[in-house]
Amino acid sequence: MKFDFKEKFLKVKNVLLLAVLVITISCNAQSSPSTASVKDTYLKIERMIPMRDGIKLFTAIYMPRDTSEKYPFLIMRTPYSCAPYGEDNYNTRRLGPNRRFAEEKFIFVYQDVRGRYMSEGNFEEMTPAINASQAGKKTDESTDAYDTVDWLLKNIANNNGNAGLYGISYPGFYAAAALPNAHPAIKAVSPQAPVTDEFEGDDAYHRGAFFLMDNFGFLNYFDHPRKEPWKKYPSINNNIEIKDAYEFFLKLGPIKNANDLYFNNRSKIWNEYLAHNTKDSYWQARNIRTSLKDVQPAVLVVGGWFDAEDLFGALNTYKAIEQQTPVNNNHLIMGPWTHGAWAANSWTSFVNYDFGGNTNTFFQQLEFNFFTYYLKGKGSFTAAEASIFFTGSNEWKSFSQWPAPKTTKTTLFLGNDKSLQSSTQHLTGFDEYTSDPADPVPYIKDRAPGRLDEYMAADQTFASRRPDVLSYTGQALQQNFTIAGTLTANLYVSIEGSDADFIVKLIDVEPDGDQTQQLVRAEVLRGKFRNSFEKPEAFTAEKVTEVKLQLNDVAHTFLKGHKIMVQVQSTWFPLVDRNPQQFMNISEAEEKDFKKIKVRLYHSRKYPSAIEMYELK
């Protein structure tokens, strides 16, 4: 049976990026209004809105039929289609970010971004931002958002002069990209799981390591070449059959084979990703963080601790605004969600976490308050700057900033006998393992056609039993231990080759009969980027080298009786592509270039490998 990425993935819960994207972008269909009720309440029109360079963007506009008051615009700009097309074809899914928006009327606006679906122009991956001084007819996503809002204000009757933008994932990027030099009418923006820096931490690469499985599946669906506007994108290759992603990508061999066997150079973005495998000018121009300066609208950044795509994006969009816009109205919400799960009607559990109730109730009310207050002047928005859900203890906590203030740095050293130690006093020696690209460590125990979101919280016992994974475990905790904020691994390693990946996992070992090793946080660093993402450096064989890996932030309580575990490994497949373990351009590697190497991890007083975290009391 042929495996069609776009259709099949929609039928598998939490299987791949595509499933969640389509669910969140199209809006969860639960409690959907009928076509008749939407038609009774709204008039739908479609317009081609001109941009400053003459390109026109397809826009669907739902206007309240009740004209007794004026309404603000609530806008989502998307590369995933604002279908259904046709003024008589109404959106039977809910309008707006969540179901509470049915309680208040807005002028809902959906727009196909430049170069996608029914809009004119050429699509650019993560459109580079232009400087304000580069005025005239040069365009980016900020100017397209500006021109869209300006046209709406002048051409759509009964508006109150205010506009807001929101979006999840790629639409989250478009929301964030509207912030630099924003139109004065834009009063509130909510980037949710925004794609932010695709080389350091979002969809394409993580700390320089290519996310193979996600990008292969996504770009096959997303990146078919387009000569003119159209209502539906076909897949690049409809004949891809995947039953077991681990076996499929292992048989694929070197990453260069993807074009020969499947894409035939038809994916422009895939080729760009592989051609730009350092943080060169291509990626630097597409890092929206550097443009988030002098932000004027109120901002509500949203992310999920189990977001397998853009956890980095949410955390670092918030931080970039804080760092570059000293006087701001910037808020962060981090909940126990997968990618976009906060848009569902209910979210009460994940893997073996039970959150003790519907975590979406709190968020969706807050999101509703945010837009109604800033766009309509109704009610109030009194949320703390940072509203953070702590896994383990199932608590929402409020902070004046993030990372949380008043924390204490705690360092746990990887010790002898695979222990975790609080000091370097008794540290000696090293541990070693053999990293074999022909037998890479799976990212999750289960096999599936595509990526399983569950890996973000999955039991790691399967990995700890492998000889190519090192596991270090602390003593049972005598009291609850809560950590909040940054998480850094400082490793001292030596390798036989000239390059290697390093994956570090923080794990909560539960005192159940199985001693479940529940993943709390994990991240990868391609070793050659240990000192710079712009200028990779080879390792000197057998030389002890420091490798520092910044994991994504964490908010977690290790309960009394639990144990803390840290795992270290050098493959994470097929989530991450295989490193030949030689210093080279991996996109050009041949099968013969992939080498088995020994990796040593030191834990001595001279070379004290450790993980640093911040305790919240």
Split into its structural domains, the chain has a count of: 3
Whether 358 and 416 share a structural domain: no
Domain that holds residue 347: 5-197+287-399
Q: What is the pLDDT of residues 547-559, one digit of tens each?
A: 999 999 999 999 9
> What are the C-alpha distances in Å from 559 to residues 350, 351, 358, 392, 548?
18, 18, 22, 7, 28
DSSP per-residue string spanning 343-412: GSS---EETTEE-SS-HHHHHHHHHHHHHHHHHH--S-----SEEEEEBTTTEEEEESSSSPSSEEEEEE
| Whether residue 454 sits in one domain with residue 388 | no
Same domain? For 170 and 98 the reply is: yes
pLDDT reported for residue 1: 27
**Full DSSP string of 29-63:** -TTPPPHHHHHHHEEEEEEEEEPTTS-EEEEEEEE
Tokens representing residue 505 in the block: 């996992």
**The domain that contains 480 carries what CATH number?**
2.60.120.260
Q: Residue 23: pLDDT band by 50, 70, 90 thresholds? A: very low
pLDDT given at position 27: 36
pLDDT at residue 133 tops 50: yes
Q: Rounded mean pLDDT of 199-219?
A: 97
The per-residue pLDDT for 19 is 38
Split at pLDDT 50, 70, 90, the class of 36 is: low
Does 305 share its domain with 349?
yes
Is the per-residue pLDDT at 6 higher than 50? Answer: no
Q: Is 83 helix (H, G, I), strand (E, B) or coil?
A: coil
Per-residue pLDDT at 402: 98
Per-residue pLDDT tens digits for 478-514: 999 999 999 999 999 999 999 999 999 999 999 998 8
Mean pLDDT score, 87-94: 89
Return the sign of the alpha-carbon dihedral for residues 308, 248, 18, 117.
positive
Integer angstrom CA distances of residue 65 from 41, 98, 361: 6, 21, 29
Mean pLDDT of 391-402: 97
Residue 460 pLDDT > 80 = yes
Instruction: Report the pLDDT value the prediction gives residue 608, as an integer from 0 to 100.
Output: 98
Residues 127 and 63 in one domain: yes
Query: Do 178 and 215 fall into the same domain?
Result: no
> What is the rounded average pLDDT of the residues 292-297?
97
**Strands 386-390 and 395-399, bridge-based pairing:** antiparallel
- Distances in whole angstroms, Cα of residue 532 to Cα of each of 18, 190, 278, 548, 606: 32, 31, 9, 11, 24
Average pLDDT over residues 589-617: 97
CA distances from 496 to 571, 584, 585 (A): 16, 15, 18
Positive or negative: CA dihedral 258, 260, 266, 270: positive
Residues 413 and 536 in one domain: yes
The CA distance from 466 to 514, in Å, is 17
The answer to whether residues 128 and 17 belong to one domain is: yes
Mean pLDDT of 27-44: 68
Q: Which of 368, 399, 430 is the last residue of a domain?
A: 399
Whether residue 5 is predicted with pLDDT greater than 50 in this model: the reply is no
Instruction: Examine the domain organization and report whether 314 and 178 are in the same domain.
Output: yes
CA dihedral for 9, 14, 20, 24, sign (positive or negative): positive
Q: Assess whether pLDDT exceeds 80 at residue 454.
A: yes
Phi, then psi, of 107 in degrees rounded to 5:
-90, 105
Rounded Cα–Cα distance for residues 464 and 472 (Å): 10
Integer Cα distance of 118 and 58 in angstroms: 6
Q: Is 153 helix (H, G, I), strand (E, B) or coil?
A: helix
The rounded percent of the chain whose pLDDT value lies above 90 is 91
Report DSSP state, residue 442.
B
pLDDT at residue number 137: 77
DSSP 539-584: PPTT--EEEEEEEEEEEEEE-TT-EEEEEEES--BTTSPPP-SSSS
For residue 94, name the pLDDT band (cuts at 50, 70, 90).
Answer: confident
State residue 412's pLDDT score: 98
CA–CA separation, 148 vs 379, rounded Å?
Answer: 28
pLDDT at residue 33, rounded to an integer? 55
pLDDT of residue 8: 35
Q: Report DSSP state, residue 529.
A: G
Token couple for 481? 């231990």
**CATH number of the domain within which 302 lies:** 3.40.50.1820
Looking at the chain, the number of H-run helices and the number of E-run strands are: 13, 25
pLDDT over threshold 70, residue 445? yes
pLDDT at 34: 62
Amino acid symbol at 507: I
Which of the four pLDDT bands, split at 50, 70 and 90, describes residue 131?
A: confident
The larger pLDDT score, comparing residue 605 to residue 10, is at: 605
Between 8 and 206, name the one with better pLDDT. 206
Q: Which residues contact 582 (CB under 8 A, 6 or more apart)?
A: 497, 498, 499, 593, 595
Q: Which residues pair with 547 in a beta bridge?
A: 491
What band does 302 get if pLDDT is binned at 50, 70 and 90? Answer: very high
DSSP 235: P
Rg (CA), the chain: 24
Same-domain status, 20 and 140: yes
pLDDT at 102: 82
Share of the chain above pLDDT 70, in %: 94
Q: Which of 399, 417, 448 is the last residue before a domain boundary?
A: 399
First to last CA, the chain: 55
Please tell me the predicted confidence (pLDDT) of residue 135: 62
Mean residue pLDDT of the chain comes to 93
Which residue spans within 453-544 are E strands per DSSP?
470-473, 481-495, 501-509, 517-526
pLDDT score at 598: 98
| 182 and 232 co-located in one domain | no
105 and 79, same domain (yes or no):
yes
**pLDDT band, residue 220 (cuts 50/70/90):** very high
Q: What CATH number corresponds to the domain at position 268?
A: 1.10.3020
Q: Considering 284, 302, 330, which residue would you say is the last residue of a domain? A: 284
pLDDT at residue 290, rounded to an integer: 96
Helix, strand, or coil here: 206? strand
